C-alpha cells in the first residue's frame, strides 16, 4: 500500500547520515538505516510502483490528477532554467560551473515550487519536502549526479504520498508522467553541464547515473509477447520500442553517451541481457538496488531524515 495520509507535519529536520569519519561505525549505522521507518516506507513505495507499472507501456492511458500536472509543471520550470543558464567557457571539460548558478536558483525557489504542488492546509510540510527536491538534482560543489540523488527524488514523491497529495490511483502517472519527466530533465542537466557521475563503479556498475528506471522499466516488460531481455542489446529493437518502455529509453541514452562495444562500456547490462525472463531481471535488479545503492554508505550517507521519513525503527 502507498503510505497513508497525515496532516501532522513537524518542522523539517535536516538530520542526515553525515557523521564525522572517525566516529563512523558503518555496520551499526547501516543496520539502523535498514531497520528505520524511512527505509521501510521508501522500499515499500518503490515496490508498490513496481507492481503498478507491471506490463504497462509508457504510451498507455492512465489517470492524470491535478497534483501530477503540477509536478510536471515544476519539472518544466527546472528545464526552462537550464535554457536560461547556458554553460560557461572554462578550461576543464567536465563539471561546467554554470550548474552552480542553476542550482542556486533551485536552492532559493525550492520551497515556493513545492508550495505550488501542496494544498494550503498542508503548507507546513513544504520546507521538509523541498529538502528532497533540492537533493535530487546533483551536488553543486562537485557538479556530479548519481543514484543517491535519484533516490532523493523518489523520497520527494514518497513524502507527497505520505501527506496525501499523491494517491493510490496516481501510481502509473507517478512513474510514467512525473518520474519520466524528471529523467528527461536530469539527462538534459548531465549533457548541458557535463556532470560527473557520482560514485560511479565504471564498467562494473549498472549505469553511471540512474537505477530506478531499470527496475520499473523491466517490470513494464514482464510477460511481453515479443521482447525478451536478449533483445535490448539490439539497436533496431531499441529504436523501434524506446518510446513505450523506460528500460529501452535508458539503453538508448547510454548508447548516445558512450562509444565502443556495449559489452565493454556496460558490462553489467550486457550480463543482464542473458537472463531468460523479465520477471527474473526485475527481481535481480531489486536485490541489486538494495545491495549496491541503499546499503552502500557512500550513497546513503547524505540521505535526509525528518518527520515524514524518520530514522526511528519501523513500528509495524
Q: What is the 3-state secondary structure (H, E, C) of 250-303?
A: HHHHHHHHCCCCHHHHCHHHHHHCCCCCHHHHHHHHHHHHHHHHHCCHHHHCCC
Per DSSP (E only), the strands in the chain are 15-16, 144-145, 196-197, 304-305
Task: Please report whether residue 109 resides in a domain.
Answer: yes
- Average pLDDT value over all residues in the chain: 89
What are the cell numbers at 78? 527546472
Question: If you write DSSP's letter for every residue of 192-209 in order, what string do you get?
Answer: HHTPEETT--GGGSS-SS
- Return all residues near 54 (Cβ < 8 A) that are at least 6 apart: 219, 220, 222
Residue 122, pLDDT > 70, answer yes
- Average pLDDT value for residue range 106-116: 97
* pLDDT over 70, % of the chain: 89
Task: Please report whether residue 66 resides in a domain.
Answer: yes
The whole-number pLDDT of residue 7 equals 40
Residue 14, pLDDT > 50, answer no
Task: Please report whether residue 7 resides in a domain.
Answer: no
CA angle 215, 218, 219 (to 5 degrees): 85
What's the full length of the chain, in residues? Answer: 316
Task: Please report whether residue 311 resides in a domain.
Answer: no
* pLDDT over 90, % of the chain: 76
Task: Please report whether residue 310 resides in a domain.
Answer: no
Please measure the distance between the N-terminal and C-terminal CA atoms of the chain and give it in whole angstroms: 13
Q: How confident is the model at residue 200 (pLDDT cuts 50, 70, 90)?
A: low
What are the cell numbers at 164? 496525501
The whole-number pLDDT of residue 115 equals 97
Q: Is there a contact between 146 and 198 (Cβ–Cβ < 8 Å)?
A: yes
Task: Please report whether residue 314 resides in a domain.
Answer: no
Integer Rg of the chain from CA: 19
Three-class DSSP category at 51: helix
Half-sphere exposure of 113 (CA within 13 A, CB side): 21
> Helix, strand, coil: what percent of the chain each, to 5?
60, 5, 35
The whole-number pLDDT of residue 300 equals 82
- Average pLDDT value for residue range 101-107: 98
Closest Cα to residue 132, out of 308, 258, 6? 308
List the CATH number of the domain containing 155. Answer: 1.20.120.1150
> Which residue has 535536516 as its cell numbers?
14
Task: Please report whether residue 127 resides in a domain.
Answer: yes
Q: How confident is the model at residue 260 (pLDDT cuts 50, 70, 90)?
A: confident
Q: How confident is the model at residue 58 (pLDDT cuts 50, 70, 90)?
A: very high
Residue 304, pLDDT > 80, answer yes
Task: Please report whether residue 49 resides in a domain.
Answer: yes
| Secondary structure tally for the chain: helices H, strands E | 15, 4
Count of domains for the chain: 1
Give CA–CA dist 125/133, Å, rounded: 13
- Taking only the tens place, the pLDDT of each residue in 159-198 is 999 999 999 999 999 999 999 999 999 999 999 999 998 8
The whole-number pLDDT of residue 297 equals 83
**Domain coverage including residue 112:** 21-303
Give CA–CA dist 229/232, Å, rounded: 6
- The residue among 4 and 129 whose pLDDT is bigger is 129
- Average pLDDT value for residue range 230-257: 94
What are the cell numbers at 122? 498542508
Q: How confident is the model at residue 264 (pLDDT cuts 50, 70, 90)?
A: confident
Residue 22, pLDDT > 80, answer no
Residue 274, pLDDT > 90, answer yes
Give CA–CA dist 160/168, Å, rounded: 12
Pick the range with the lowest mean pLDDT from 108-117, 169-178, 198-207, 299-308.
Answer: 198-207
Q: How confident is the model at residue 142 (pLDDT cuts 50, 70, 90)?
A: very high
Is 58 exposed, middle or buried, given 0-12, 13-18 or 19+ CB atoms closer than 10 A?
Answer: buried
Q: In terms of pTM, does the model score above 0.75? A: yes
Residue 128, pLDDT > 80, answer yes
- Average pLDDT value for residue range 221-229: 96
What are the cell numbers at 308? 515524514
The whole-number pLDDT of residue 202 equals 56
Amino acid at each position: 500500500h502507498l503510505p497513508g495520509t497525515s496532516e501532522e507535519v513537524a518542522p523539517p529536520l535536516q538530520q542526515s547520515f553525515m557523521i564525522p569519519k572517525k566516529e563512523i561505525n558503518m555496520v551499526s549505522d547501516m543496520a539502523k538505516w535498514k531497520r528505520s521507518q524511512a527505509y521501510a516506507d521508501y522500499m515499500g513505495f518503490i515496490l508498490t510502483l513496481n507492481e503498478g507499472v507491471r506490463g504497462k507501456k509508457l504510451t498507455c492511458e492512465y489517470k492524470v490528477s491535478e497534483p501530477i500536472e503540477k509536478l510536471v509543471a515544476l519539472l518544466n520550470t527546472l528545464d526552462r532554467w537550464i535554457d536560461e543558464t547556458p554553460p560557461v567557457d572554462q578550461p576543464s571539460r567536465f563539471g561546467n560551473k554554470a550548474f552552480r548558478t542553476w542550482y542556486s536558483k533551485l536552492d532559493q525557489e525550492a520551497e515556493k515550487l513545492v508550495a505550488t504542488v501542496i494544498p494550503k492546509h498542508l503548507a507546513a510540510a513544504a520546507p521538509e519536502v523541498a529538502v528532497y527536491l533540492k537533493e535530487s538534482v546533483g551536488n553543486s560543489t562537485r557538479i556530479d549526479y548519481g543514484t543517491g540523488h535519484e533516490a532523493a527524488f523518489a523520497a520527494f514523491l514518497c513524502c507527497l504520498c505520505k501527506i496525501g497529495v499523491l494517491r493510490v490511483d496516481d501510481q502509473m502517472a507517478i512513474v510514467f508522467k512525473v518520474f519520466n519527466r524528471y529523467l528527461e530533465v536530469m539527462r538534459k542537466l548531465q549533457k548541458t553541464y557535463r556532470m560527473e557521475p557520482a560514485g560511479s563503479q565504471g564498467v562494473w556498475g549498472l549505469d553511471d547515473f540512474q537505477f530506478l528506471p531499470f527496475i520499473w522499466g523491466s517490470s513494464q516488460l514482464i510477460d511481453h509477447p515479443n521482447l525478451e531481455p536478449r533483445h535490448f542489446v539490439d539497436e533496431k529493437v531499441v529504436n523501434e520500442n524506446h518510446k513505450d518502455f523506460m528500460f529501452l529509453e535508458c539503453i538508448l541514452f547510454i548508447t548516445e553517451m558512450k562509444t565502443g562495444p556495449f559489452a565493454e562500456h556496460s558490462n553489467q547490462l550486457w550480463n543482464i541481457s542473458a537472463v531468460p525472463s523479465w520477471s527474473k531481471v526485475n527481481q535481480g535488479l531489486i536485490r541489486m538496488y538494495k545491495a549496491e545503492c541503499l546499503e552502500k554508505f557512500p550513497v546513503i550517507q547524505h540521505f535526509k531524515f525528518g518527520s515524514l521519513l524518520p530514522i526511528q525503527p519501523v513500528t509495524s
